[in-house]
Structure 1
Amino acid sequence: MLKQLLGKLITRPPRHWTETEIRDLIAAGDFDKARNASEALHPDTPDIKQVQMCLKAEIAFRTHDDASAEAFYSQVLKQAPGFSDAHHGLSLLMHSRGEYESAFQHALFASNAAPTESRYLAQLGLCHICLGNFAQAEESLQRALRQAPNDKASWNNLGIALLSKGRNTEARACFINALKLDPEFNQALQNLAQLNTDTAPSVQAGDPSLTDPGDALEDRTSPKGLAIDPTQPPQPWHDEWRRIASVPWGPGSDEVISATETLLLNHADDAELAVLANRLYRRRGDADSGLAVLHAFLIHHPDSAVAHEGMGNALLERPDYPGAERHLKRALELGSRHQDVLQALRSALMKQGRFAEALPIAQECQARWPSDINLALLALAYNHNCDYAEAITCFDELEAKDLVSRLGVKSAYALCLSYTGRVKEALAIFDEQIGLLGNTGQLRLAKAAMHLLTEDFGAGWDGYRHRQLGLSNYRVLPVPEWQGEDLKGKTIVVLAEQGLGDQVMFASCLPDLLARKPARVVLEAISRVAPTLARSFPECEVIGSRQDSKLEWLRDIENVDCFVPLGDLPRHFRRTIDSFPRQPYLKPDSARVRHWRSRLERLGAGPYFGTSWRGGTEPTRSAIRTLSPSLLKPLTCALPSQWVSLQYGDVREELALAQQAGITLTHWSSAIADLDEFAALIAALDGVFTVCNTTVHYAGAVGQKTWVLAPTVPEWRYGLTNRNMPWYPHVQVLRQPKPHDWETLVAQAALCLVDEYRPLLVT
């Protein structure tokens, strides 16, 4: 018997460990056990080799063996260049060395790749604090704590971020929460003591967000608290709920959750309780359980407007904006036409970039429930819809009450001023806000755009570095970032970024980079752009990619010395107006140019012109970059000529509108979808008239004579007052005399067309 038992024990399979279990051992400081456990990582673990090395690296880092940690992380990134946990680990290492900018870049990369991973968000928040980006630090740390409410370091760091913004009461609560988790947490003890002696820095509170400046108002317009709705009749469970809700925000006890679940069982048909329970779960970091409560309730009560509203708000915070929109609209269908539902729906639409749909809701809310907050939200809606005059009217009304700063919308006010040409006023506001709020990246980016718009290129490009905060596909490599040093004999990787037009425009800096005599330039580009760039810059190794975070193509690149994002090249090479290119640099396929010229000549007698009329998306100001093609008739009829469409996308309806207006536009879809063909077609034309879109960059880069139909104040690329674009000497900028005045602008373009080409016709 004993022999059999021993045999079973001896042959028992070895213990396997999960990644979470090993991380718990690391957090507890049991490094020897964690080291052994990492060797027994469960074989079903995805990316097991990379995970195993990252665990070993973190153990090495926690035991102050930085050299081994860096070697492990570098080995991981050689195998999987986009492995987010290795980038997170490098951020930890660099932060410990005081290399805060590099630490921030790797933390941003990791959090973009895994936006719900609390460890990455916590590290990103810490890096923001070290760089003085307190508003962004608060956002990242709040997101981290929603995922991991028992993270004492994040509570402490959130307190620091809030303290720096003058929000002392909230900061104190954060330090207390950290100490509840660890009463001997020295950093929180010191911070709380400093706060209690009133020695902490204090600045005016505000929200510098430019992506959605209304975020500061959302807490005031959405019912996210745990208080019982006073408009509802008293219920038997109210007293017990008040006791549950009185527990301070932070890590909660099992007894509180148990009491909540007992209430839910005893009052299973009460929608208000289900909504409050959802908020409690979310506040304590268990959003999934909160959603499960509402989901279960809606299965049995599918026509509950209160529950649909609660689900909409919960999904809005998750964030799941389409899901939130669906439930909020259902609440409205069920008769819940009150302010909170409408404002939540407005927010869901705004977050999806559907500004035109959100505007009527903001107008309705201000009309039915006039208030300063609703007026501010209406101003933001006008701003996003490019109706800057109406937005400024609203902002001016708030400014008269000294509320623009208090409501956290002053940066949006400045943007509106800049887009109406009041650039000096906007710059003064940005400077004021930066002084109050610290080194806020988005404010500095907005200020940089104003400098670039007015051709103050040195200051503009230095501030343009802050664009990385808004790039969801921002990437970084585990090698030094090039800062302008000698490149002779070195290999440099140029990383793609932003859109198609931006990559063509910034590619004008490649000859300057090549003039530095690097041994090797590896240029990443979006696959659609890559063939033309490869032909234009044969000295570069051009790699077409999807511009994603996996960076799989990098595995085949050996001995990289440094990297640079493509959008950073102008910081080195375009600091004055005289440093911009004076000749075309994009080389289309000459055989395809001849092909398209032949196709054009079959249309009839020339000259031959191309046009496009739609630019951008709602978030990139399509409202002022787009006109109906039917308005182009004065241009297309200015002299005998043939016109082709250069417009990307489905243009069937628009071509029909043009035809009804008496405009004939030939559209070759194959020449639009393939950008190498697109370049050849543009080069085969005699001229181009286009709104602000990718067509401008292709036409300018191949050297085609081009006129841009621009709004009164266009994006910074086009300049505020210049006649020609700095990037392309052959591109002339025509500007609307007043906002949305396309008719006058098209008439001006028609005059330019006649002046330029009629002498050729006479000849």
Structure 2
Amino acid sequence: MLQTIDAAVHQAIGFLNAGQISDAIGRLRFLNSANETSHVRSNLIGLIYLSAKENLRALAWFDQAVRLNPRYSEALSNRGAVLQELDRDADALASYDEALRLGFVHAALFYNRGNLLREAGRLKEAIASYDMALKLNPAYPEALRAGGRVLRDLGRPESALEFFDEALRLRPGFIDALIDRGNLLHDLGRTEEAIRSYDSALEKEPNHADVLNNRGAALHAIGRFQDASADFDAALRINSLAPQAWSNRGNLLLSQLRPEAALAAYERALELRPGYGEAFCGRALALKHLGRFDEALASYDRALDCDPTSAHFKNNKATLLLLLGEFETGWDLYEWRWIAGQTPKHGLKLPIPEWSGESLAGRAIIVFDEQGLGDAIQFSRFLPILAAQGAKVTFFCRARLHRLFKGLETPVRLVDDLAEGEHFDCQIALSSLPRALKVRLATIPAQASYLRPEADLARMWAARIGSQGFKIGICWRGNSAIKADPSRSIPLAHFAPLAGLAGARLVSIQKLDDQTPFGDRQALPWLETLGGDFDAGADAFVDAAAAMQSLDLIITCDTSIAHLAGALGRPVWVVLKQTADWRWLLEREDCPWYPSMRLFRQSRLGDWDEVFGRVAHALELELKQI
């Protein structure tokens, strides 16, 4: 009988090696694990069943091997592998640990064990297990890839990239490592490199839906909308039931100013994955663009039901509440805007309490700059208020803003680095000041101006601009990054009709760079420029602030120039998209933040012609009064 069993096992191995799985298993069907008396043969038969992916039968044979010899460490390790395949992770980990206790040392065991520890969130233990796998087998690309994923989750992206790169050096076509590498590079903002990694993966598997979807998201991030759309279409042709691809398509459609189509894409994603928080958040953004604000708030709440800890969802809901003028709740949720570490405060990690509005008399407070240049200008109005309460105020901000902020009506200390041993009683991020000061819509401190330009520069630019005509400074473009919302920018041609009005002079106060339409510094016939030295130095906005003193009006898109003009108290018209950023609120033509500001809003999404018709009419009336 034993010879018959051994012959059957030998034949099964031969069939398995030849790829004839059903014939291999057929040779073993007459055997019953409960009747087996050899722990070695039980383990071997279990391995055959495991290779054939008959996991329950494999487990029965490994269990028999361990019953026959409880110290058989190899069978314990194999038992762990099949339990892992059956998603019995706790039992699998216990089996691996028992094999280790008995002295079994094998790279695959440490690799598999590391995977279980990673799934359990025990990341440092997982890294230690992968390290042991790599010590036993340095040329182990799967372990390198897995180690890279844990390092990424531990917030060590550069080390993770080294692991992915080494895995790819050992196995150049390792598609999972290419995908992980691309995803990490995308998260790091190294989008072009991410796309190259996805390209390499698609050379290996051209119809890989997940890679096409991820590459589409990366292409969207750098503004290659047509290519991104093609990738999402291809991904959905391969797998039309992929909720992430539908959600990503919704994100793209929003960037293309197609909120109704985006809404349909998000709805489809939610049909496929009802608990998909990102799709609920995208759906809320689409509803916000459509002016369906109550539904948008409800959709944000659904997103937060899916993930109550998401800073992204909370911040998005906050900006909608602020747009609606609901400042009390809005400021609270707005605290989540930089939880991900997007502020200098996180890098410095000062062990001092947050200021929450208590008395500042005789206390030293450090305020941290954050977010965009426009935010810094808008919220710098609160720094003198702190000083007026008796605080010693230090503003930690970008060095290129120091010269501008020296023009605050009440000076504060400006730094971009801290000396060792500096003492502060409390700290706060700049955009948290409205919350701490309990600012409401009716109590916004809206001084006529709170910044002053440099007098010498103002005289210099006045001489260059001259006194003839009605001088209008224009700015048409803000940050072009997708995350900064390039839909705020205005095609320059829309300003041209304003130059045709009698007496009007249009002067560019747009900072010149490689994206400026007249990159050779030669202006369009109807547009004057102030020269290549305008705001070309290291100090931001000092020339713009000075030049504005000689301009009769500033007309600008929603960008930092709007805040600068308002902070200086200069007459400024801001031309906004239909549903604008939260700080401009809804439907009003005035701005509670800046008394000298007038707002012109699109009546229809993406329609600049109509709103510029109203701007031209208002300007014509203004010119007639001169």
TM-score by length of 1: 0.59
- 2:376 maps to a residue whose letter is Q
List per-residue Cα deviations over 1:512-552 (Å, max 9, x = no partner): 2222122x222223222212212324442223x2xxxxxx3
| Letter paired with 2:510 | Q
CA distance in 2 between counterparts of 1:284 and 1:516 reads 48
What residue number does 1:720 align with? 586
Question: Which of the residues 352, 368, 373 maps onto 1:500?
Answer: 373
Task: Quote the residue 2:297 is aligned against.
Answer: 427
1:322-471 to structure 2, matched below 5 A, reads 322-332=192-202, 336=206, 338-349=208-219, 357-367=227-237, 369-373=239-243, 374-399=245-270, 401=271, 403-406=273-276, 408-471=278-341
How far off its partner does 1:261 sit? 6.7
How far residue 707 of structure 1 moved from its aligned partner, in angstroms, is 1.0
Choose which of 613, 625, 632 in structure 1 pairs with 2:495.
632
CA distance in 1, matches of 2:529, 2:318: 40
Q: 2:169 — aligned with what? A: 295
Displacement after TM superposition at 1:710 (Å): 0.7
Per the TM alignment, residue 504 of structure 1 is displaced from its structure 2 partner at its CA by 0.8
Amino acid at match of 2:406: A
Equivalences, count: 504
For the pair 1:568 / 2:432, whether they are aligned, the reply is: yes
Q: Using the alignment, how far apart are the partners of 2:149 and 2:487 within structure 1?
A: 41
Does 1:655 find its partner at 2:522?
no
Corresponding residue SS for 1:483 = coil
Which consecutive residues of structure 2, in runs of 5 or more, have no partner in the other structure?
1-85, 100-106, 118-125, 152-158
What one-letter code is carried by the residue in structure 2 that aligns with 1:587?
R
Q: Is the Cα–Cα contact under 8 Å of residues 692 and 708 in structure 1 kept in the other structure?
A: yes
Q: Deviations over 1:562-595 (max 9, x none)?
A: 2222111111332232333131111112332232
Partner of 1:615: helix, strand, or coil? Answer: coil
1:527 maps to a residue whose letter is A
Secondary structure class of the residue paired with 2:206: coil
Structure 1 residue 249 corresponds to structure 2 residue 122: no
Aligned to 1:43: none
Deviation at 1:650, TM superposition (A): 1.2
| 1:674-693 correspondence runs (5 A) | 674=539, 675-693=541-559
Residue 458 of structure 2 is aligned to residue 593 of structure 1 = yes
Q: Give the C-alpha shift of residue 351 in structure 1.
A: 6.2
Q: 2: CA distance between counterparts of 1:426 and 1:179?
A: 50
Structure 1: segments with no counterpart, 5+ residues: 1-168, 184-239, 265-273, 299-305, 546-551
Determine if contact 1:312/1:326 at 8 Å carries over to the other structure: no
- Greater relative contact order, per chain length (Cα 8 Å cut-off, separation 6+): 1
Question: What secondary structure is seen at the aligned counterpart in 1 of 2:586?
Answer: coil
Matched-pair contact (CA < 8 Å) for 1:311–1:327: no
Pick closer, same or farther for the CA change 1:406–1:253 going to 2, 3 Å: closer
- For residue 470 of structure 1, report the CA deviation from its aligned partner: 4.0
Please list, as runs of the form range in 1=range in 2, the aligned pairs for 1:22-101 lying within 5 A after superposition.
none
Change (3 A) 1:174 1:757: farther
- Kept in 1, the 8 Å contact 2:182–2:198? The answer is no
Shift of 1:554: 4.1
Q: Which secondary structure does the structure 2 equivalent of 1:523 belong to?
A: strand
Q: Residues 219-298 of structure 1: matches in 2 within 5 Å?
A: 249-250=116-117, 251=126, 252=129, 279-282=145-148, 288-289=162-163, 291-298=165-172
Question: Normalization by structure 2: what TM-score?
Answer: 0.71
Q: Which has the larger radius of gyration?
A: 2
> What corresponds to 1:529 in structure 2?
401
Cα distance change on mapping 1:175 and 1:654 into 2, 3 Å: farther
Question: Kindly tell me: are residues 253 and 619 of structure 1, through their superposed partners in 2, closer, same or farther at Cα, counting changes over 3 Å?
Answer: closer
Task: Write the letter of the residue equivalent to 1:633.
Answer: A
Structure 2: which amino acid aligns with 1:514? A
The residue aligned with 2:507 is 644
Q: 2-side partners of 1:726 and 1:735: how far apart?
A: 16
Partner Cα distance (1:613, 1:256) in 2: 57
1:506-525 equivalences in 2 (<5 Å) = 506-518=379-391, 520-525=392-397
Kindly provide the CA deviation profile for residues 289-332 of structure 1, in whole angstroms up to 9, marking residues without a partner as x: 5531321444xxxxxxx44x444313124446443322332455
| 3-state SS of paired residue (1:671) | coil
Residue by residue over 1:186-241, the C-alpha shift from the partner in whole angstroms, topping out at 9 and shown as x without a partner, is xxxxxxxxxxxxxxxxxxxxxxxxxxxxxxxxxxxxxxxxxxxxxxxxxxxxxx99
SS of residue in 2 equivalent to 1:472: coil
Counterpart pick for 1:491 among 364, 377, 383: 364
**What is the percentage of aligned positions where both structures have the same residue?**
24
2-side partners of 1:618 and 1:703: how far apart?
29
How has the CA–CA distance of structure 1 residues 572 and 365 changed in structure 2, closer, same or farther, with 3 Å as cutoff?
Answer: same
C-alpha distance in structure 2 between counterparts of 1:757 and 1:175, whole Å: 82
Change (3 A) 1:406 1:625: closer
How has the CA–CA distance of structure 1 residues 513 and 353 changed in structure 2, closer, same or farther, with 3 Å as cutoff? farther
Deviates more, 1:362-371 or 1:566-575: 362-371
Measure, in 2, the Cα distance between the counterparts of 1:175 and 1:676.
67
User: In the alignment, is the contact (CA less than 8 A) between 1:496 and 1:566 conserved in 2?
Assistant: yes
- Report how far residue 345 of structure 1 moved: 1.9
2:183 aligned with 1:314: no
What is the distance in 2 between the residues matched to 1:611 and 1:174?
65
1:735 is displaced (CA, Å) by 1.0
Query: 1:480: which partner in 2?
Result: 353
CA contact (8 A) 2:269 2:279 kept: no
Contact 1:609–1:686 under 8 Å retained in 2: yes
In the TM superposition, residue 337 of structure 1 has moved relative to its aligned partner by: 5.0
Q: CA deviation at 1:691?
A: 0.6
Moved more, 248-257 or 386-395: 248-257
Deviations 1:464-492 (A, max 9, x none): 11112244234142222211111112222
* Code of the aligned partner of 2:288: S
Shift of 1:181: 7.7
726-735 or 650-659, larger mean C-alpha shift: 650-659
Please say if 1:754 is aligned against 2:617. Answer: no
Say what the alpha-carbon RMSD is for the aligned residues.
3.7
- SS of the aligned residue for 2:502 comes to coil
Give the conservation status (yes or no) of the 8 Å contact 1:386–1:621: no
SS in 2 for 1:535: coil
1:536 and 1:279, CA in 2 relative to 1: closer, same or farther beyond 3 A?
closer
Encode CA deviations 1:662-705: one digit per residue, 9 max, x unaligned: 53232434332342121111222100111111100111110111
CA–CA separation in structure 2 for the residues paired with 1:291 and 1:656: 39
Q: Secondary structure at the match of 2:497?
A: helix
1:705 and 1:178 mapped to 2: Cα distance? 73
Measured in 2, the distance between the counterparts of 1:561 and 1:243 equals 49
Contact 1:645 1:668 in 2 (8 A): no
The amino acid that maps onto 2:352 is V
